Amino acid sequence: MPRNDLIESTYEQALKFARQTPYPKYEQRIETLEKLKQVIIRNKNEINTALFNDLGKSEYESQISEMTFVIDEIDVHLKNLKKWMSPRKVKTPLVLQPGSSQITPEPFGLVLIIGPWNYPLNLIATPLIGSIAAGNITILKPSELAPHTSKILVKISKELNSPFLHALEGGVGETTQLLEKKFDHIFFTGSPRVGKIIMSAAAKHLTPVTLELGGKSPTVIWGDQDLDIVASRIIWGKLINTGQTCVAPDYLIVQEKLKKELIEKLKNKITEFYGNDPINSPDYGKIINENNFNRLISLIEKDKVLLGGESIKEKLKIAPTLVESDLDSPIMKEEIFGPILPIISIKELSEIDHIIALNPRPLVMYLFTLDQSLVDYTEKNFKAGALCVNDTIIQISNFHLPFGGIGNSGMGSYHGIHSFDNFSHFKPVIKRKQMLDLTLRYPPYEGKLKPTLKLLKWFGH
Ligand code: NAD
C-alpha cells in the first residue's frame, strides 16, 4: 500500500478503536505492556544490530542506554500501574458536605509519538510505555534518520499485534501528513526548530503537546575537588553515543586555576576509555549522517584544538575533540550534539551568570563542586530542565525524577509515574448527596450576601 494511504487507513483504524475503547481496563493495559516486553526481548539481537548499523553503538551501550532502560521502565509500570490508575482522593470542604472529591486519571484517547534518531528505541518506547499504561491508543512515528531501528519498531508493533499500538515509518512528508490529523495528545522528541512546527500544527486542533527538546547544557567546574573523578564523569557523559545525547554536557566552564590540570585529566580519560586511537575504538560510535558530520566538522576551529580533531568521512567518524573556546566561537552559538567539547575558563564565579544567559534555558545544568553554598546558589538561580551535581547524565536513570525541559528545551516531562501522569487527563470528580441543600446560594439574593460570605470564610476551604 502506498505510504500516504497506509497513514490514512492506520489513523482511521486507530481513531475508531480509541473512540470505541475510551477507558481500557487495567488488565488490557498490563497485558499489552507484558507482551511489549516479551517482543522487545525476543528481538534483542536484531535491535542491537539495528542500533549498530544506525549509530555504530556497541552492544554495551545498546543494552544499557536503550534495551535495559526500556525493560526497566516497563517493569516500573507493571509494578505500580494499579496504584497510579486509582483515583487520588482529596479533601471536601465542609460547605460542600455531604460529598466526596477525587481526581481520576483518564486516558487522552489517540496519541501520536514522534521520535528522534539518537536513542531511536529508548526515546520512542519509553514514552510509548507511559501512553499504553495511561490507557491511550498510540501511533508511533520513529525517525527516518535511524532507518534500521525504525524498521525494527514497525516489526515490534506488528508482532505485538495490538489495537493499542501502530507504528508508521516516514520522514518530513509523512509526519506532516500525520500532523494534519486531529490527535488527543502529541508527544515529540527532537530539535527546538521542529518542536515549533509540531506545536503550531497541534494548535490548529487545540491538541496538547509534550515537547522533549534540546539545547546547550553547561557544565561548571569550580573549587578544589577530585579532578580525576570529574574528568571520568564528564568524558563518559560527553562521549556516550558519540556526543549525540540531548543531555550531554555541551560545554565546560572551568575555574581558571583548575584548567590546566583538568585538561590533562580529560585527555588521559579519553585514552584510558578508548585507547590511543579512539576514533577506531569498538566502543566509540559514528555520526548519524553526512549532514551532521559536515556540520560538526565546520564547528571545529583548528587553531583551538587541544586534542583530537581527526575525522574519517567515509565512516562518518569524528575523534573525541577538546577545544579551547571563547564566547564568540561558532561552537558556542548552537547545540553541538557531537563529540566536541569546548572549554571556557573563568576567573570570577560571577561570570557564569553571563555565559549561561547567552543561550536559552538548557535541558540540564551540570555542576562539579564541593562548595555547598555554590550548589544552593545554582539550584535557586539557574533555570534548567534539571540540575545534576557532581555527575553527568545519570539523573535520567532515576525513574522517580521527571525528565523534561523548560522553555526552549521543552515542556512536559516523563519517566515512571511522570509518564503515566503526562499521558493522562486528571479529571476532578465531586460526588454529592441529595440532602442538606443550603438555600443561601439560590436567588433571590436579598439579605444573603453577608451570611454567605461568613459561611464561605469558616467552612469553604
Ligand atoms: P529533529 O527535530 O530533526 O527530528 C525529530 C523528528 O521530527 C523526526 O521523527 C523527524 O522525522 C521529524 N521531523 C523533522 N523535520 C520535520 C518537519 N519539518 N516537520 C515534521 N516533522 C519533522 O531532531 P533530531 O535531529 O532527530 O534529534 C536531535 C535533536 O533532538 C537535538 O536538538 C536534541 O537535543 C533533541 N533531543 C532531545 C531529547 C530529549 O529527550 N529532550 C532527546 C533526544 C534528542
Q: What is the pLDDT of residues 106-165, one digit of tens each?
A: 999 999 999 999 999 999 999 999 999 999 999 999 999 999 999 999 999 999 999 999
Same domain, 138 and 169: yes
Question: With a 6 A CB cut-off, is 78 part of the ligand 1 pocket?
Answer: no
Cα–Cα dist 127/149, whole Å = 16
- Residue 192 CA: nearest ligand 1 atom is 32
Report the nearest-CA residue for atom 39 of ligand 1.
212
Handedness of CA 133, 135, 137, 139 (dihedral sign): negative
| 323 Cα distance to chain centroid | 28
Nine-digit cell string for 202: 497541534
- Going from the C-alpha of 341 to that of each of 25, 99, 234, 243, the distances in angstroms are 49, 60, 10, 9
Same domain, 232 and 192: no
Active-site option among 246, 290, 335, 446: 246
Nine-digit cell string for 425: 487527563
- Going from the C-alpha of 164 to that of each of 41, 174, 414, 452, the distances in angstroms are 19, 21, 20, 50
Question: With a 6 A CB cut-off, is 213 part of the ligand 1 pocket?
Answer: yes
Query: For strand 251-255 and strand 218-221, is the pairing parallel, antiparallel, or unpaired?
Result: parallel
Would you say residue 432 lies in a domain?
Answer: no
Q: What is the pLDDT of residue 251?
A: 98
Would you say residue 304 lies in a domain?
Answer: yes
Same domain, 270 and 319: yes
Would you say residue 453 lies in a domain?
Answer: no
Its pTM surpasses 0.85 = yes
169 is catalytic: no
Question: With a 6 A CB cut-off, is 319 part of the ligand 1 pocket?
Answer: no
Would you say residue 67 lies in a domain?
Answer: yes
Into how many domains does the chain fold?
A: 2
Same domain, 330 and 421: no
Question: With a 6 A CB cut-off, is 175 part of the ligand 1 pocket?
Answer: yes
Same domain, 64 and 202: yes
Nine-digit cell string for 265: 585529566
- DSSP letter for each residue of 343-363: EEEESSTTHHHHHHHTSPPPS
What is the CATH classification number for the domain harbouring 102? 3.40.605.10
Same domain, 48 and 168: yes
Question: With a 6 A CB cut-off, is 173 part of the ligand 1 pocket?
Answer: no
Could you give the strand order of the β-sheet that contains 99-107, starting from the edge strand earlier in sequence? Answer: 88-90, 99-107, 424-432
| Cβ pair 388, 65 in contact under 8 A | no
In 3D space, the residue among 383, 338, 418, 389 whose CA is nearest the CA of residue 76 turns out to be 418
- Report how far ligand 1's centroid is from the alpha carbon of 411 (Å): 15
Would you say residue 434 lies in a domain?
Answer: no
Q: What is the pLDDT of residue 3?
A: 82
What is the CATH classification number for the domain harbouring 237? 3.40.309.10
Would you say residue 417 lies in a domain?
Answer: yes
Would you say residue 379 lies in a domain?
Answer: yes
Same domain, 133 and 227: no
Same domain, 373 and 419: no
Full residue range of the structural domain in which residue 376 is found: 218-404
Same domain, 338 and 388: yes
Same domain, 49 and 186: yes
Same domain, 348 and 379: yes
For the chain, residues with pLDDT lower than 70 are none
Report the nearest-CA residue for atom 40 of ligand 1.
212
Cis peptide before 120 (omega within 30 of 0): no
Q: Strand runs (DSSP E) across 11-150, as ranges?
A: 88-90, 99-107, 110-114, 137-141
Same domain, 119 and 38: yes
